[in-house]
Amino acid sequence: MAASVLAGILIAVALLPAALVLGGFSATLKLERAFPVGQRVELSQLRARDMARHGRMLQSSSNGVIDFPVEGTYDPFHVGLYYTIVQLGSPPRDFHVQIDTGSDVLWVSCSSCSGCPQSTGLQKIQLNFFDPGSSSTASLVSCSDRRCSTGLQSSDAICSVQNNQCAYTFQYGDGSGTSGYYVSDLLNFNTILGGSVTTNSSAPIVFGCSNTQTGDLTKSDRAVDGIFGFGQQQMSVISQLSSQGVAPNVFSHCLRGDDVGGGILVFGEIIEPGIVYTPLVPSQPHYNLNLQSISVNGQMLSIDPAVFATSSGKGTIVDSGTTLAYLAEEAYDPFVNAITNAVSQSVQPVISKGNQCYLVTTSVNDVFPQVSLNFAGGVSMNLRPQDYLLQQNSVGNSAVWCFGLQKIQGQGITILGDLVLKDKIFVYDLAGQRIGWASYDCSTSVNVSASTSGQKEFVNPGEVSESSSLRKELAISMIAFLMHISLLGSFLFL
């Protein structure tokens, strides 16, 4: 009798604790028994139940959605970048890294770094430095390592004949740069399956250990620990995890455009009925799309489509590492003229610091037209006024709105940065070689598929960080609860 009761109690404990104290608040949870009181339970039944649970655990490690927290905003007057947290090494350490679809490699500042910022103006961040010697699972990557050979093919790696060390040197569009060497270590990540967050997953990856930084990377006002490259070359983390069968060859993000910022970043495909897809231009180092035309208020602008064509470093690319957005020179003037003509009766055009601006006394949504970027496949990306304008300041009762969509002179490049990407789901389907998008409220949950099985998970903004802190409090409460159950079990045996 006592043994049967105790078995029932232990099964109930495995399901859920009866009452927990979370951050000073009491949460009472209903306790469900797996088997009726007084009924003997066959071992085969318990074994079957355990096997089902183990199956769920195994499924979680292989098919769960890999979820990363997102912080930051697109607004250059506040943060001007979106970043996430990666956990590297054993024991795991947190590193804040910028989300960058315009580069391939994940790199973080190392303990030996020269020129790396020691502090940051971003709130809630304390900069960390990776020390390979402090991680029990870290190892250096040699030039003879096949992973280094992969990096050499995509120009993401270089080799030093003197020390046989696989290394890198990157220069970014703003003139900043970094160099360092490659390390192999564990990436610790969170998976979501069945609405639950599992935080003990890990996989070996190769990433950069930066020992030199130059340019804007040395400034402390918006400093982070490194850059998380989400490109499609083999050295990117998404490609590495996909080749190991740990993650699908697709990732998605939804970046909030309000002052709160943040959003959703997952290794998996966000499923939403309104998503439209256009093919990636093949054999390109970046996420190049075939932009064919621009429409303002439904009227197509007179721009030669060759302006947007991809060739020899030219074309239209999607880059979350760019704060604003940029139009090729030949497209910029027709675009600005069309907007100005559309609002000439409602606002006062002004030039501020060389930029075309407008004095606006009402909501920009009531005055400025919708813009459509039209891509191959007959799909369009619709832009609201706040997707191509930025509010700079105010003059009297008027708000000063300027073009955030800037001109790039003489390069034939159009860049879709955070100004355009925000408040939209973006899906990077590397397996299908396509990119999809849909306008969306990124403060709400999304439906994500992580496999071809069709299984979907709901992911909420901030779910991982919230669940991680909650799990710590649950663990403390669970220990106390189990001690209580142990005493109760001893009493029952008396």
For residue 232, count other CB atoms closer than 10 A to its CB. Answer: 19
CA distance linking residue 137 with residue 74, whole number of Å: 36
Helix (H) or strand (E) holding 17: none
Given the residues 67, 75, 100, 104, the one annotated as active site: 100
SS3 annotation, 335-388: HHHHHHHHHCCCCEEEEECCEEEEEECCCHHHHCCCEEEEECCCEEEEECHHHC
**Phi/psi-derived region of residue 45, left when phi > 0, alpha when psi is between -120 and 50, beta in every other case:** alpha
- Distance, in Å, from the CA atom of 406 to the CA atom of 326, rounded to the nearest integer, reads 5
Axis-axis angle for helices 463-493, 2-15 (nearest 10) = 170
Q: Are 109 and 214 in contact (CB under 8 A)?
A: no
| H, E, C per residue of 149-161 | HHHHHCCCCEEEC
Confirm whether 100 is a catalytic residue. yes
Nearest 5°: CA angle at 185, between 181 and 206? 50
Tell me, what DSSP letter sits at residue 406? E
Nearest to 226 by CA among 188, 172, 160: 172
Radius of gyration, alpha carbons of the chain: 26
Q: Which is catalytic among the residues 319, 387, 423, 429? A: 319
Residue 418 · residue 404 · CB < 8 Å: no
Q: Which residues are known catalytic residues?
A: 100, 319
